[in-house]
């Protein structure tokens, strides 16, 4: 695996662990979780929140169309999907964590 890819994966795991730790709101996330015929990057089942982190390859029209289809499929199953670019996770970890925690708070109010 390319060195920068390893670094990105490590940072993503660290970011997910920090913002999704049980001590922060009590929410547990599962990684690479099967929902219907889709695999979510991370999902909080009680909040029905899917967090997707998109890499550099997600900049073309075909992949963006596939991402939109995935989001629609997951929404049809009752999940809210939020997406982040891996560069946002790398460069703005606290903002990404705040956005995820905000989505969790909105999900809690909606239930």
Superfamily of domain 3-110: VSR Endonuclease (3.40.960.10)
Cα torsion angle, 9, 10, 16, 22, sign: positive
Residue with tokens 């073309």: 60
Question: What value does the mean pLDDT take over residues 38-57?
Answer: 86
- Where are the chain's structural domains? 3-110
pLDDT digits 0-9 by tens, 22-45: 444 678 888 889 999 999 988 999
Q: What percent of the chain has pLDDT over 70?
A: 74
**The pTM is what?**
0.78
């Amino acid at each position: 695996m390319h060195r920068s890819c390893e670094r990105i994966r490590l940072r993503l795991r660290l970011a997910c662990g920090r913002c999704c730790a049980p001590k922060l709101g009590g929410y547990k996330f599962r990684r690479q979780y099967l929902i219907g015929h889709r695999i979510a990057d991370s999902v909080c089942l009680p909040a029905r929140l899917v967090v997707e982190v998109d890499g550099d390859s997600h900049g073309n029209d075909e992949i963006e169309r596939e991402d939109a289809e995935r989001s629609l499929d997951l929404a049809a199953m009752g999940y809210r999907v939020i997406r982040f670019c891996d560069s946002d996770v790398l460069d703005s970890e606290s903002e990404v964590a705040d956005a995820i925690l905000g989505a969790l708070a909105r999900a809690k109010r909606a239930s």
